Amino acid sequence: RHRRSLETGEMLFREGDGGHEAYVIESGCIEIFTGSLDSRRRIACLGRDEIFGEMTLLGGHTRLASAMATEPTTLIVISHEYLEERVLAADPLLRHLLRVVIARSRDNVLRLAQTVEQGGGMAGTAHAAADRQAALQHLRLEQAMATALERSEFQLHLQPIVRLRDGRPAGFEALIRWIRPDGSRVSPGEFIPVAEQSELIYVLGHWIIRESCRCLAELDRQVPGAAAFLSLNLSLRQFDDPALFPVLEAALADSGLDPRRLRLEITESMIARDADATLQLLQRCKALGAKLSVDDFGTGYSSLSYLQRLPVDCLKLDRSFIGELETSPAAARIVGAVARLAHDLGMETVAEGIETPGQAARCRELGVDYGQGFHWAPALPLDRAAQLLSR
């Protein structure tokens, strides 16, 4: 660590410079701005004890803004090497978490700069504070998740998917549950998006795949001959995981299951994001023998043309349509039309979020194959799912 002194008007660094140091202001004042000196847009004026420049600390980034002293200023320099030697080298987790935080704060600065540009300086500061809160929350959750994996706090629960023709469970959707030691639960809607922003989703995804196969094999043991199928959810990020296919392959082989009994759920929005890349990956999934379901169908604003190109076996009608089935004639027509379209293309349909007998009956009349929802059961622990299957 060393010190640095600047005169009034002296530049510390300029937008676009390379850099690998952060600074703490010991005395004086630093203005952070974008654009040229003459027509600059001020992002912040920093005083004593404030840290800046940290985005380049782990290397590989250029400065996003310029920094200039507006009065005689002294700084403490925190170098990349210092951080690396003293803290980071000892702890890979810390290094990873820091990268996440730094990536996040980098986004914040970009967003803040944008807001300032649009004349919303105060609002921008409020946003940055909210982002800082969110970043901390994110960090805590990410750390808690890593620990929870080690401590086996995750479980897969199984929600029955019922054949509407005869009302019998034909399969299950595996839904992850995080139950803390004190019995409290964290909703997947909260922690899955956080896991998706780091490589934790890989580790969690591997666990979900192995556990799904284990559950299906255990259902076979408890209810011989039922031959239920099991749907598991994949995240877009998992398609970047080089181990996704090896893990799927090994889990299928180890459990001795017929791969056709495994359904991989991907959401329509995943397809919309990158149809060509998704197509390639889905073809590899198909090559393993697994089936593919499009989840949240009808909400992704994607073009129907992908149905022609993707090897899809099943469409899961989003719960928003089912909720309006009994009150909106349009919703009923859409459900009926999707069921017909799916059948014409040789696909099956599942209606999700069925909560009333009326909705179940209506879906059946409209030609939907399967239903899933609280009308039958929520996601259940394995033993209760097996009981339901054996009835």
| Footprint of Ca ion (CB under 5 A) | 233, 265, 295-296, 352
Structure-token pair, residue 307: 């149905």
Is 19 or 171 the residue whose CB approaches ligand C2E more closely? 171
CB of 382 to ligand C2E, least distance (A): 14
Enumerate the β-bridge partners of residue 133.
none
Size of the site for ligand C2E (CB under 6 A): 22
Residue window 26-65: x/- pattern of binding to ligand C2E, with contact defined by CB under 6 A: ----------------------------------------
Instruction: By CB under 6 A, name the one of 374, 381, 383, 390 that touches ligand C2E.
Output: 374
- Range 290-309, binding ligand C2E (CB under 6 A): 295-296
The reply to whether 189 sits near ligand C2E by the rule CB under 6 A is yes
Label the pairing between strands 30-34 and 21-27.
unpaired
CB of 378 to ligand C2E, least distance (A): 6
The reply to whether 149 sits near ligand C2E by the rule CB under 6 A is no
- Range 163-182, binding ligand C2E (CB under 6 A): 174-176
Query: How many Cβ atoms from other residues are within 10 Å of residue 281's Cβ?
Result: 20
The reply to whether 203 sits near ligand C2E by the rule CB under 6 A is no
Q: How far apart are CA 20 and CA 63, in angstroms?
A: 9
Closest to 363 in 3D by CA, of 378, 382, 348, 377: 348
Q: Which listed range, 5-13, 38-46, 50-58, 183-191, lies at the site for ligand C2E (CB under 6 A)?
A: 183-191
CB of 143 to Ca ion, least distance (A): 26
CB of 268 to Ca ion, least distance (A): 10
Residue window 225-254: x/- pattern of binding to ligand C2E, with contact defined by CB under 6 A: --------x-x-------------------
Residue window 257-296: x/- pattern of binding to ligand C2E, with contact defined by CB under 6 A: --------------------------------------xx
CB of 268 to ligand C2E, least distance (A): 11
Tell me which of Ca ion, ligand C2E, none is bound by residue 188, counting a contact when its beta carbon lies within the kind-specific cut-off of 5 to 8 angstroms: ligand C2E
Is 199 or 355 the residue whose CB approaches ligand C2E more closely? 355
Enumerate the β-bridge partners of residue 388.
none
Closest to 22 in 3D by CA, of 98, 93, 91: 98
Label the pairing between strands 73-79 and 21-27.
antiparallel
CB of 42 to ligand C2E, least distance (A): 42
Structure-token pair, residue 65: 């803004």
What does the binding site for ligand C2E look like in residue numbers (CB under 6 A)? 159, 174-176, 187-189, 192, 208, 233, 235, 295-296, 319, 353-355, 372-374, 378-379
